[in-house]
Structure 1
Amino acid sequence: MSSCSSSAVSSCESRQSRSISHPGALRLQTLILLAFLAASSAPTPLYSVYREAWGFSAITLTVIFGVYAIALLLALLVLGSLSDHIGRRPVIIGALLIEAIAMVAFMAATSVPLLILARLIQGVATGTATSVLAAGLMDLDRQRSPLINSVAPMVGLAVGALGTSMLVQFAPAPLQLSFLVLAVVFILLVIAACFLPETAGRRPGALAAMLPTISVPRQAWKALLLVAPIDVAAWALGGFYFSLGPTLTGRVTGMHSPVVGGVLIFVLTMSAAVSVLLLRAWPAQRMLTSGTVALVAGVGATLWAIHSTSAVLFFLGTIVAGFGFGIGFLGALRTLLPLAQPHERAGLMAAYYILSYLAFCLPAILAGIMTNAFGLITASSYYGLALMALGVAALIGVKLFPVDQD
């Protein structure tokens, strides 16, 4: 990781004394976080274009999506603590350079294996950036960083999907232009990141820190088991939308424009961001209950829309489900984190992220297999019913065994 960015880091050493202010650094790191998540959702509106051009199946589509999530998770676990030992700025610059390489790989992709390679590279970059930016934002502003870390990724996902779909629809070279724009953005961010102030001192143990620490404190097991159904349901919903969602939208609405798929992702993620922004002061128990109810209701409305081919109800159901995704995710985090001592949090979060990202990719791959076997509408129905069952189980568990840490 550090070797791939050594030249860029060396060229930045002379600028150490000219670092930007902490408020400026907070804004820049927020922008970098937005850019990474925007890039991560950029391929979603293009999947239909890739499928039409290369003729691959729904299973292949979900595998392309799934390898990104797996690579992100592995990078998060292996490189998550690296910046505590070599500094925030070198890791941020390295992640930006790797992401720029991923954008070039997308531009050069002419087959499924090359597309999978591009997604793997992007997953490594995004997983690395997620951890270091979360830590860097916390260094700069402990009061506002939790809100930024909750809302900025959702906004980035929304902007990336909608922006890419607009370029695909109305600009030339649909499989290259979006990634060319993003590559330029990441190169500019590399230059800007050279002026970030270093907020973490160097200390030994970098290699040891790359060994993942996964452990659940005894006092947190009950809470983890209680929030697991809603967490799995929320992330599995996101995985389905980001892989097969645009294709399903075309079947329901009759409109196969990439913009429609981009709008779908925008609606899901922005409703999640708005729910976090507006309801962040709620107690964790109330967040979990409301988020679960909203997720079940939203998925139920979406299933009804699929079978009645109602575009309006389909998007309304997505808004409600997105609300449940956002507030349920925040409620789960606020339930778990107070149960761990400072030295236990990294292991607990590793376990939580493994659960979340596996739920993000594995059910989506299963949905691809089901789509090939039964068709998209039938597969979507079974998938949605499973999510609703998980939501009901979560609601029963939260009501019978409340765990509120507020």
Structure 2
Amino acid sequence: MSKTSTPLRRRDKTSATEVRQRGSRTFWLVAAVYVLAMLGGTLPVPLYLLWAPRMGFGPLTTTLIFAVYAIGVVVSLMLFASMSDRSGRRPLLFAALALAAVSTVAFLLADDVMVLLAARLFSGLATGIVTATATAALEELAGHGRTRRATITATAANLGGLGIGTLIAGLLAEFAPDPTSLVFWIYLIALVPAVLATALVPETVVQPRRPTLAVRRPTLPTGRADRVLFLRVAAAVFAAFAVNALFSSLVPDFLHGVLHVASEATVGGVVALLFLSALVAQLGAPARWLERRWLAPGFLVVGVAVFVAGLWTRSFPVFVVGTVLAGVGSGLAFRRGIAVTARLADPRRRADLNATYFLAAYAGTIVPTLALGGLDQVLDAKLATAILAAFIIVITVAAAVAPQRSPARAVPRRPRS
């Protein structure tokens, strides 16, 4: 009996190791797909300066194009994102990649503003699906007790992908031939291995059902204390994404028109700096920092004030410093929100609460961006930006001073993965 029991134990140990390794591989496959999908959302940002003279549009149209993207995200979150809780993660990830491919083809064919609007709408639909679905999939694939690993990876994939997209597009716009086409050909080719990677990911939803399309109301946690906490982090991410929207929609025009920056690579790099500063803050901040009430709001408020001062004084270095500070605040707010959402979500409805969280985030990109585009038509660009900055600061401070949960119910620290 002893001779036969040892090999059995070894086989069981090997099998368990293989399962863990396979789970780790599929976790990182989903993370890679998440990065690629988010990357596609910001590829057009440095290219508006090239499209504008060719198609004859100005800052207001630029903000409208970006707002259409944000509207696509919101519509997608309301219609499709929570569907993965019932129909499975993989089908929705495939749908997101298909919409990204349609958007990319539309950008390749774009010869007027209407085609650009359609391309951005499809891009927004893809982003809305992937944010809620991939975030939920990462939480499930990370395994029990490894929530911190999942939340850090999800936040890094989201904002890191956004930053990499603007950086790549800016460099290609500056140094490559036919930049408004080449970048999208490269992206379209990159979607092929993403589809293959998704095919290798195991389904994490037990007994997925046939998809049914319905408009879902935003989901909130049960219990008053949990709802208050969730609404606080939702308000914070609303303000953070309002800053992201300002950079992604109008900062290229501001850099070109106010600060006289002519290089597309520099424009893409500055916008990328916001997202990459957020990424570094997410990865480097200790978990205890998330418990400090004024840390993320403080960075965000100071960063917004400093980059607006850079515009008013026409100082590029001051503008860059403000960009870094705002990025750190945005990253810390986003990571805390993802962690809180993961902790409060019903395991059977992870994508539902994720969808509500991202609804708050992308709502922060629509109204302020459109308002700034409208104000820019009747006010000086710097004054219009200062008005939006004041609005963002008010929302940020309001979220920070809102009632907190009792210390006994505070967000617990997660064990290191």
- Calculate the TM-score normalised by the size of structure 2: 0.84
Classify 1:233/1:82 alpha carbon distance in 2 versus 1 (closer, same or farther; 3 Å): closer
Gaps spanning 5+ residues in structure 1: where? 1-19
Greater alpha carbon shift after TM alignment, 125-134 vs 147-156: 125-134
Question: 8 Å contact 2:232–2:399 — kept in the other structure?
Answer: yes
Q: What is residue 31 of structure 1 aligned with on the other side?
A: 32
Q: What is residue 16 of structure 1 aligned with on the other side?
A: none
Letter in 2 for 1:319: V
Instruction: Give the Å deviation of 1:159.
Output: 1.0
How do 1:4-403 residues align onto structure 2 when only pairs under 5 Å count?
Answer: 21-142=22-143, 143=146, 144-204=149-209, 206-207=211-212, 210-216=214-220, 217-219=222-224, 220-227=226-233, 229-282=235-288, 284-286=290-292, 288-335=293-340, 338=343, 342=347, 348-397=353-402
Distance across 2 between alignment mates of 1:79 and 1:244? 29
Q: Secondary structure at the match of 2:218?
A: coil
Q: RMSD in angstroms over aligned alpha carbons?
A: 2.5
Q: Secondary structure at the match of 2:178?
A: coil
Classify 1:204/1:282 alpha carbon distance in 2 versus 1 (closer, same or farther; 3 Å): same
Instruction: Give the Å deviation of 1:22.
Output: 2.9
Question: 8 Å contact 2:85–2:348 — kept in the other structure?
Answer: no
Distance across 2 between alignment mates of 1:250 and 1:96? 33
Instruction: Give the Å deviation of 1:136.
Output: 2.3
Greater alpha carbon shift after TM alignment, 247-256 vs 57-66: 247-256
Distance across 2 between alignment mates of 1:344 and 1:90? 16
Instruction: Give the Å deviation of 1:193.
Output: 3.0
Instruction: Give the Å deviation of 1:340.
Output: 5.8
Letter in 2 for 1:281: A
What fraction of aligned residue pairs are identical, expressed as a percent? 28
Classify 1:147/1:302 alpha carbon distance in 2 versus 1 (closer, same or farther; 3 Å): same
Letter in 2 for 1:331: R
Letter in 2 for 1:75: S
Question: 8 Å contact 1:213–1:347 — kept in the other structure?
Answer: no
Distance across 2 between alignment mates of 1:88 and 1:345? 11
Distance across 2 between alignment mates of 1:339 and 1:197? 25
Greater alpha carbon shift after TM alignment, 336-345 vs 212-221: 336-345
Classify 1:327/1:67 alpha carbon distance in 2 versus 1 (closer, same or farther; 3 Å): same
Distance across 1 between alignment mates of 2:376 and 2:335? 31
Q: Deviations over 1:321-375 (max 9, x none)?
A: 1101111222344456545655676654444332221111221111111111113
Question: 8 Å contact 2:133–2:351 — kept in the other structure?
Answer: no
Instruction: Give the Å deviation of 1:399.
Output: 8.0
Q: Secondary structure at the match of 1:21?
A: helix
Q: How many residues align?
A: 385
Letter in 2 for 1:207: T
Greater alpha carbon shift after TM alignment, 305-314 vs 75-84: 75-84
Question: 8 Å contact 1:264–1:315 — kept in the other structure?
Answer: yes
